[in-house]
């Protein structure tokens, strides 16, 4: 009987240890699932007037998951925007470096983008100079298609890495090409939204901003 009692006691101890490990793992998973997810985004547009320009490219990335859509703009592109982005309009076609690209209607691009955001846990957008430029344009165009409320439910806001980098570092410039060269030691295709979001994610991973600083620079709707 003593041997049996000892065996039962040992089994009970093992069960308690396993239950403790399970609770620790479960609580850790809850903590991880409770974290917000940065989704890096960028727009290319028909011009610089945030009250009137239209979106021609919308890109986003988080980890290894990407989103990209080209849109045929509802207004003409400025010469300056075409020179910078390589995007031009020819009738009902959008060209990138003189080659046609596949476009999708605005509503579909925006709803697909919202669906992409919903695949992440508590996503928030991250963009460079987004407070002054990308964020007001994106929210205005979403409102044009009555999609702003659905977008609001999908994201908690947007962090502008321009202001973030200015607070974190003392540098001579804060443009994204300069930051990429300074921190990543590489050049890239600036003003191609897919490259902009890729390098911005890389910068953010190098910077590792603390939660309080991220929260300070978050723009809410």
135-153 confidence digits (pLDDT tens): 999 999 999 999 999 999 9
Is residue 180 one of the residues assigned to a domain? yes
pLDDT tens-digit map of 42-66: 999 999 999 999 999 999 999 999 9
pLDDT score of 188:
74
Query: Cα dist. 171→150, 167, 174 in Å?
Result: 38, 10, 7
CATH number at residue 62: 3.30.420.10
Taking residues 162-167, report their average pLDDT: 98
Is residue 11 one of the residues assigned to a domain? no
Is residue 86 one of the residues assigned to a domain? no
pLDDT score of 132:
96
- Rounded to an integer, what distance in angstroms lies between the CA atom of residue 179 and that of residue 120? 27
pLDDT level of residue 190 (50, 70, 90 thresholds):
low
Q: How many domains does the chain have?
A: 1
pLDDT score of 10:
54
Is residue 5 one of the residues assigned to a domain? no
pLDDT tens-digit map of 14-47: 545 444 444 434 334 333 346 899 999 999 999 9
- Per the structure, the complete domain to which residue 50 belongs is given by 37-71+104-219
Of 198, 20, 70, which Cα lies nearest the Cα of 12? 20
Between vectors from CA 68 to CA 194 and to CA 185, what angle results, nearest 5°?
15
pLDDT score of 13:
53
Is residue 191 one of the residues assigned to a domain? yes
Is residue 25 one of the residues assigned to a domain? no
pLDDT score of 8:
47
pLDDT score of 2:
55
3-state secondary structure 140-208: HHHHHCCCHHHHHHHCCCEEEHHHHHHHHCCCCCCCHHHHHHHHHCCCCCCCCHHHHHHHHHHHHHHHC
pLDDT tens-digit map of 104-115: 999 999 999 999
């Amino acid at each position: 009987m003593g041997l049996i009692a000892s065996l039962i006691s040992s089994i009970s101890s093992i069960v308690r240890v396993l239950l403790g490990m399970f609770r620790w793992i479960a609580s850790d998973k809850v903590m991880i699932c409770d974290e917000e997810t940065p989704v890096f985004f960028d727009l290319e547009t028909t011009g610089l007037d945030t009250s009137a320009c239209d979106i021609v490219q919308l890109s986003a990335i988080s980890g290894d998951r990407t989103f990209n859509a080209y849109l045929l703009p509802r207004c003409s592109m400025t010469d300056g925007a075409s020179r910078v982005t390589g995007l031009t309009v020819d009738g009902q076609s959008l060209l990138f470096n003189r080659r046609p690209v596949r476009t999708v209607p605005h509503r579909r691009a925006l709803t697909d983008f919202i669906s992409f955001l919903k695949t992440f846990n508590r996503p928030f957008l991250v963009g460079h100079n987004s407070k002054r430029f990308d964020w007001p344009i994106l929210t205005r165009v979403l409102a044009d298609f009555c999609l702003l409320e659905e977008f609001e439910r999908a994201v908690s806001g947007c962090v502008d890495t321009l202001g973030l980098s200015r607070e974190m570092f003392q540098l001579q410039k804060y443009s994204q090409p300069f930051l990429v060269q300074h921190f990543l030691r590489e050049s890239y295709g600036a003003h191609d939204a897919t490259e902009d979001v890729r390098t911005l994610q890389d910068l953010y991973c190098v910077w590792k901003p603390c939660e309080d600083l991220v929260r300070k620079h978050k723009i809410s709707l």
